[in-house]
Structures are given as C-alpha cells and as structure tokens.
C-alpha cells in the first residue's frame, strides 16, 4: 500500500512539474515555428504577418527613378489594379508624386488610406536629423503615418537613426520599422543589440543571381522577413533575367511571362517583392501572379541560379 501511495505522489509531482513558465516557453517555441518565413506568408491573401503585428502585402510597386509625375501615375495604376504595397524613399525625390497617386485613388473611392501599405526610408543625408526626415516624408506623402520606415543603408550613426524610428512608432507616425542593405549576420546582430523594437523587415538587393537565403534563415528566429529590391536585376539588367533559360522554360510551361515567374518565385520563397515600373501594363502583369504555383522542383531550379553576385555595393 505504501509503495502505491508513493508511486501516486511521484506521478502527481511529475505532472505538476510543467510550471506556467515552462508553458510560456512552449508557446513561444510554437510561435517561432509559426513565424518562419514561408509559413507566415499567406499566398491566398498575398500578405505576410510582420513581427510588429501588422499585415504587409507581399507584392507591391517600387518607385525608384520615377519622376513625381510618373510616380503619381504608377501608384494610381497599381492601386487601381489591386496592389496595396507602395515602396518609396526620401532619396527617390518622388514622395510628392506617390502621395498624389494615393490621394487620387482615395478620392475616387478605389482605396482607403488604411488599405494601403506605404514604405519609406530615411536617407543617409538625413541621418543627423532623422526625426525631421520622417516628418518631411509624412508631409510630402500627405499621410499621417507610414506603415514601414527603413534605414536606407548602414551609416555612421545607425543607432541614433534607429532610435528616432522607434520614437516615431511611439508617436504614431510609423507602424513598423526595419533596415535596408544589411547583408551579414554581424550587421543584423549589431542592430539587435540596441533595438528595443525588433526590425520587422530587411529590404535588400535580392534576385536570381544574388539570393539572401542564408540571411533569411538566420533572421527567421526573430520573425524578421526579407524584402527584395531589384527583383529583375534593376534597370539595365532585366533582359539578362527575363532571358535566363530556366526562367524562359518555366514561363512557357506555366503560360506566364518571365517577369511573373520571377515574382512568383520571390513570394513562394518567402520574399516580399517590389518591382519598379512606370508602365501600367507591366504593373498589372506583375500583380497577376496568384493563379499559378511553381513546383518544388521548379523552385529548386531557380534557387540553383544563385551565384552570389550583387550589382550594387551600397
């Protein structure tokens, strides 16, 4: 009898050893799994849940090199065809045009402000006046807040710039923050060492010939997602990407254009992407990537094109 009682006590002890703290750890571990890059991508809705708690569209319009007039037309065309993500930057000098395109779409009832995800960046020339740089972007874009603000590239006083972005989040001027052109684990670790708000997004050069797979794997543990700039290699290199034999073959097989195959690979591989365009037909084409799927083998063939070659070094 005594042995039976002892066994029951031991059993009770082992059941209650799962303390509340340990339950939290278990839940956190599950969260980590759920926030892995591809699992948090919703390819039906075309969105990703950021670690900030906000939802971000996974395909949008890039506006680099567009004039203000072109930016207005492209943003309007993008919103009209269903795109809900617009990428711009103070450095591009077209935030006024982006704001006009957005305003026109709002005035025509195509979108509400809260339907659209606007990204801007603090430019290096503004690093000593980051808070003012954010205010200037809001003013030119004619919005009360931006959805995502990025440090455009590493500089000498990133910590102060990052702190200004965190303050802007507290002030309601910015919803999520991130970094751009940070390619190594060491660079990311440095930001994490002073960040009170973990970056939600890293926006980097990322295309067929320079894939950020290792970085993407590393930052997954922080719920950080990668966003690709130069998805087509940038102006001057697009033919090289569209004319790639693997891409051409997959375009033929799927009845899609090379641009659509490339963009589909980006989003299926867990990269948000923002092809730049001043052509409404191209913008429509770029958004029309949700009605087909690349197979695992197709994805592997595209991953194999990586040769770790960047076009830019900023």
Ligand X SMILES: NC(=O)c1ccc[n+]([C@@H]2O[C@H](COP(=O)([O-])OP(=O)(O)OC[C@H]3O[C@@H](n4cnc5c(N)ncnc54)[C@H](OP(=O)(O)O)[C@@H]3O)[C@@H](O)[C@H]2O)c1
Using the contact rule CB under 6 A, the part of the chain among 39-47, 169-177, 230-238, 298-306 near ligand X is 230-238
254 binds ligand X (CB under 6 A): no
As a whole number of angstroms, the distance between CA 55 and CA 58 comes to 9
Q: Identify the residue among 285, 289, 294, 302 touching ligand X (CB under 6 A).
A: 285
Measuring CA to CA, which residue among 234, 239, 279, 275 is closest to residue 258? 239
CB of 189 to ligand X, least distance (A): 20
Q: Of residues 71-110, which lie at the interface with ligand X (CB under 6 A)?
A: 87
Smaller CB distance to ligand X: residue 223 or 276? Answer: 276
Kindly report the backbone phi and psi dihedral angles of residue 136, in degrees, each rounded to the nearest multiple of 5, phi listed first: -65, -40
Query: Can you say whether the dihedral through the CA atoms of 210, 148, 62, 156 is positive or negative?
Result: negative
Our finding on whether 113 is near ligand X (CB under 6 A) is no
Catalytic residue among 76, 92, 127, 271: 92
Q: Is 148 in the site for ligand X (CB under 6 A)?
A: no
* 212 part of the interface to ligand X, by CB under 6 A: no
Binding ligand X (rule: CB under 6 A), the pick from 46, 57, 223, 233 is: 233
Number of residues that bind ligand X (CB under 6 A): 26
* 92 noted as active-site residue: yes
For residue 18, state whether it binds ligand X (rule: CB under 6 A): no
Instruction: Give the residues across from 201 on adjacent strands.
Output: 178, 225
133 makes contact with ligand X (CB under 6 A): no
Q: Give me the sheet containing 174-180, strands edge to edge.
A: 61-62, 85-87, 117-122, 146-151, 174-180, 201-205, 225-229, 271-273
* 181 part of the interface to ligand X, by CB under 6 A: yes
CA 201 to CA 58: how far, in whole Å? 12
- Reference 116, options 153, 144, 136; nearest CA is 144
Measured distance CA(72)–CA(88) in Å, rounded:
12
State yes or no: residue 137 binds ligand X (CB under 6 A).
Answer: no
What is the secondary structure of 177-226 as a DSSP string?
A: EEEES--SHHHHHHHHHH-SS--SEEEEE-BTTB--HHHHHHHGGGT-EE
> To the nearest whole angstrom, how small is the minimum distance from the Cβ of residue 135 to ligand X?
21
Q: Counting contacts by CB under 6 A, is residue 232 touching ligand X?
A: yes
Q: How far is the CB of 13 from ligand X (least distance, A)?
A: 56
Q: Which residues are catalytic?
A: 92
Q: Which residues of this chain interact with ligand X, rule CB under 6 A?
A: 62-64, 87, 152, 180-181, 203, 229-235, 238, 259, 274-279, 282, 285-286
């Amino acid at each position: 009898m005594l042995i039976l009682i002892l066994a029951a006590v031991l059993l009770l002890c082992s059941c209650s050893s799962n303390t509340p703290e340990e339950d939290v750890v278990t839940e956190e571990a599950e969260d980590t799994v759920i926030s892995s890059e591809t699992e948090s991508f919703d390819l039906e809705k075309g969105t990703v849940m950021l670690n900030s708690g906000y939802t971000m569209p996974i395909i949008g319009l890039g506006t680099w090199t567009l004039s203000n007039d072109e930016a207005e037309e492209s943003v309007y065309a993008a919103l009209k065809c269903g795109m809900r993500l617009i990428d711009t930057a103070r450095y591009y000098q077209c935030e006024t045009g982006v704001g006009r395109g957005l305003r026109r779409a709002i005035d025509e009832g195509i979108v509400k402000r809260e339907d659209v995800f606007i990204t801007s960046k603090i430019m290096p020339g503004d690093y000593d006046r980051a808070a003012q740089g954010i205010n200037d972007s809001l003013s030119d874009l004619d919005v009360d807040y931006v959805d995502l603000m990025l440090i455009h590239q590493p500089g000498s006083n990133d910590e102060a710039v990052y702190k200004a972005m965190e303050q802007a989040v507290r002030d309601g001027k910015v919803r999520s923050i991130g970094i751009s052109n940070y390619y190594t684990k060491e660079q990311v670790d440095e930001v994490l060492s002073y960040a009170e708000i973990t970056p939600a997004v890293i926006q980097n050069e990322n295309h067929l010939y320079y894939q950020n797979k290792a970085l993407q794997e590393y930052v997954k543990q922080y719920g950080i997602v990668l966003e690709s700039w130069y998805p087509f290699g940038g102006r001057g290199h697009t033919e090289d990407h569209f004319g790639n034999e693997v891409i051409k073959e997959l375009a033929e097989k799927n009845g899609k254009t090379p641009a659509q195959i490339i963009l589909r690979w980006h989003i299926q591989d867990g990269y948000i992407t923002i092809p730049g365009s001043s052509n409404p037909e191209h913008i429509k084409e770029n958004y029309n990537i949700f009605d087909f799927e690349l197979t695992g083998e197709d994805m592997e063939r595209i991953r194999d094109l990586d040769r770790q070659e960047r076009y830019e070094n900023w």
